[in-house]
Structure 1
């Protein structure tokens, strides 16, 4: 059994605070490229994709984006938002690109363009290990409160799959500015279950030593992509970079940042 780490609450608080920070980072310039500054929106509380570690924003998405900038001669500014604000920044054109484990959905594709998928993930409802909540039948879910960040793709799933069949009502869902705040409420006993994807769960348990367990594996998977402003002139070049990396390299990044 995983024991509650004494740094659990401190880690969550630090991750929440970093949302207010503004990061300006430079990439090296290629000799044959014209330098341009890209404005990037992130939500750094989504491990292993974009999260705070030792005072730095790190993760799979950061590593991919930094590699793209270095290979194509771009510099960039990172600005942190809550999850909903990050999506709004790229949809409104305030940012050129957004990334932090963003799921590709038809609704989002109406207001932003996505890169080719780079990760496919399953979903889990997680609880504190000490509570040992195990859902063996969907009829049991109504007994519990469920939470996740505002703007997360999980809401669409609940609205489409659970509401019409009476499995779970929308008015019982608890929404938070960030995943860190949802997990803090879970830790404090104010929330029963949190929706996360499988990569996030591995990172929380293996890397961050959080006392979490999967209570239910949702029979659904989604694809993640980098979100670009509509009509972005760099999206196709970014897709070429993803192809250059290849799926094995990206998987190795995911493994590295989730351990």
Structure 2
């Protein structure tokens, strides 16, 4: 395993954020070749939910999903996209399910179904430690550049909450295909702040040893879920599996992939 504690942030990004087109077929404990194979869309750049470690996707979401498939007798294919592409794949029916730390929103519920929430997290604006940016008043926001991946929920928040109040304009936001590019720009001094959720920040600091910090915490309760095609025949069974796991087990997965 790579000792990431002494690696520069650019090297870390290559190891955790590299997008691969198709990962290998995952198998349940059953050898039945007539099993339904679930087509799964992922964006593995969202630690601790889903990211790349030693060339393979790992994280909380995959731990949950693999357990579901093993207990229910499913096999699956994982296909990697950028975040926007992942959502598009499940909304268009190219994928049966998508997961990578996806927030449940009213807009998304119009084109896809969601499992029950399995994690609730807050939001942070993240900066490099060496920049020592500490925002104490929202009036300071307009002096900084803010970026995040296309398709994430943060754009809606800025559009609906900050722009009408004159805090920050949507036109100033820098959009990226994934967190790989956003964090690279942050490291290179081309971006001041990256919008993430608090569980991502914890993984960046505690597991990946990135030299980042929270510059501002947003008072928002974000609920994450697994996305399914509309009318999915397996969504309710997946909800049963989440209930079988229980919150304590899911929290143990969070701790495992955040530290």
TM range (shorter): over 0.9
Kept in 2: contact 1:12–1:184 (CA 8 A): yes
Paired residue for 1:166? 166
State how many pairs are aligned: 255
Distance in 1 between the 2:31 and 2:45 partners? 35
Cα deviations across residues 79-113 of structure 1 (Å, max 9, x unaligned)? 00000000000000000000000000000000000
Paired residue for 1:179? 179
Distance in 2 between the 1:170 and 1:20 partners? 30
Give the root-mean-square deviation of aligned CA atoms. Answer: 1.6
Q: Does residue 79 of the first structure (1) align with residue 79 of the second (2)? A: yes
Cα deviations across residues 147-191 of structure 1 (Å, max 9, x unaligned)? 000000011110111000100001100000001110110000000
Cα deviations across residues 9-28 of structure 1 (Å, max 9, x unaligned)? 112124443x2331122222
Paired residue for 2:153? 153
Distance in 2 between the 1:130 and 1:245 partners? 41
**DSSP 3-state at the match of 1:22:** coil
Mapping for residues 64-143 of structure 1, pairs under 5 Å: 64-143=64-143
Distance in 1 between the 2:6 and 2:147 partners? 22
Q: Does residue 28 of the first structure (1) align with residue 21 of the second (2)? A: no
Paired residue for 2:204? 204
Cα deviations across residues 111-160 of structure 1 (Å, max 9, x unaligned)? 00000000000000010000110000000000000000000001111011
**DSSP 3-state at the match of 2:254:** helix
Paired residue for 2:14? 13
Tell me the TM-score normalized by structure 1.
0.95
5+ residue gaps, structure 1: none
Kept in 2: contact 1:29–1:72 (CA 8 A): no
5+ residue gaps, structure 2: none
Tell me the TM-score normalized by structure 2.
0.95
Cα deviations across residues 18-49 of structure 1 (Å, max 9, x unaligned)? x2331122222449997210000000000000
Kept in 2: contact 1:84–1:151 (CA 8 A): yes
Kept in 1: contact 2:102–2:226 (CA 8 A): yes
